[in-house]
Amino acid sequence: MKRTALALLVVAAPALGQSNQAAAPMANVQLPDPARERDAKALMETLRCIVCQGQSIADSDAEMAGDMRSLVRERIGKGEAPDDVRRWLIERYGDYVSYDPPLSGATALLWIAPLALLVIGALIAARSFRRRRR
């Protein structure tokens, strides 16, 4: 009996995680103006889904990503510039929402780590080449 209840709970868990709210109005609807829709999609590709964290809001099926897509389309549809919408979303959700965060104290490690790893790799390679010559 316990196993059956546990199995039912495991099977039902994904369904319980789904919201029964309707999707945001503009989440999956294109803007009537193709140029503005192109701007909106380009912007969506550069914004990270804060739920999925590994996908852009353009690629994510998460409800939060749909809400963010809707916000982007609504604001660009009203004539806001993509850079203004991007700044607004960063103010609202933080630098993490951007795949290209600005250099600051909080993001310095993100910018410095690849350079540091590249320098360390070059030093290791140079040392290895010197040992082979001997």
> 7 in a domain, yes or no?
no
**94 & 29 share domain:** yes
pLDDT tens digits along 73-127: 999 999 999 999 999 999 988 888 887 766 777 777 777 888 899 999 999 999 9
Containing domain of residue 39, as a range? 22-102
Q: What is the pLDDT of residues 41-62, one digit of tens each?
A: 999 999 998 888 688 998 888 8
Contact 3, 11 (CB under 8 A): no
Same domain, 66 and 35: yes
Helix axes 63-77, 34-45, angle to 10 degrees: 140
Q: Based on the domain organization, do 115 and 55 belong to the same domain?
A: no
> What pLDDT, on a 0 to 100 scale, did the predictor assign at position 73?
95
pTM of the model: 0.63
pLDDT at 14: 46
Give the helix/strand (H/E) hosting 99: none
